[in-house]
Structure 1
Amino acid sequence: MAKAPKLNSQPQIVTANHLASGDVVYLSAARSWTREIGEAAIAPNAEAAAPLLAFAEAEAKRNVVVAPYLIPVDASVSPPQPVQFRERIRARGPTTVGPTMVGSTMVGSTMVDSIPAGATAAGWTIRAA
């Protein structure tokens, strides 16, 4: 079995959670925080991303963001896509709905009450229970 490439050698971006809102945010090239992964500053590898991470850690000390860290991304696509499954979930938004939406499902940005068996939404196949 072939070994996976080392994640540190892949392109990297800085992610964190915004302290006030809890939203997933990314550090932009302008050294501001954005909710859009496509606006994130991309470093060619973890070593080159060290100054970005240092800035983000200073922002954490100023209580702007919480727990900044580097994530590897596939920069050959636009917007860049996280390599790790957990980070792909974070980039796409919450996986749960609020208590006022119980019984409904979000498909893209549309709330629907039911999804027909076999339908697809955002690349996922929905199967009847």
Structure 2
Amino acid sequence: MPKDGDKTGMPKERPIGAKEAKKQRSGKCKARDDDASLNEDLKNYIAIQATTKQRHEEYLKTKKRISSDKVEAARLGRETALVKAYQKLISMDTKEMTEEMRAEHVIGLKIIRGKLDDNTN
């Protein structure tokens, strides 16, 4: 019967030594190319990163679209206020106004009309 083997005659596999175990713990040993779980983890990480990047780009596009929609809504709000002011000035009765008040009224109408024309262009 062999000295270092079991009953089948095969030699026993010896545990790794203290120095070899220390090298493996500290990461100084050669990396194993056959570590499939590491490759799978790396592939999963890369896939997750790509998905995250795509979602972030979609988020930025949506944020930009919302921002431009808000700017457009604010512009339309200002234009609506100008139209209301213009309609109010146009419908005013100028019979009882003095010449000076009529001149200011006409100037105000011209200014608002100019702003409305600038907004539509």
Range into which the TM-score falls when normalised by the shorter chain: under 0.3
Based on CA coordinates, which of the two structures has the bigger radius of gyration? 2
Q: Name whichever structure is richer in strand by fraction.
A: 1
TM-score calculated relative to the size of structure 2: 0.20
Q: Which one scores higher on RCO, CA 8 angstroms, separation ≥ 6? A: 1
TM-score calculated relative to the size of structure 1: 0.19
Q: Name whichever structure is richer in helix by fraction.
A: 2
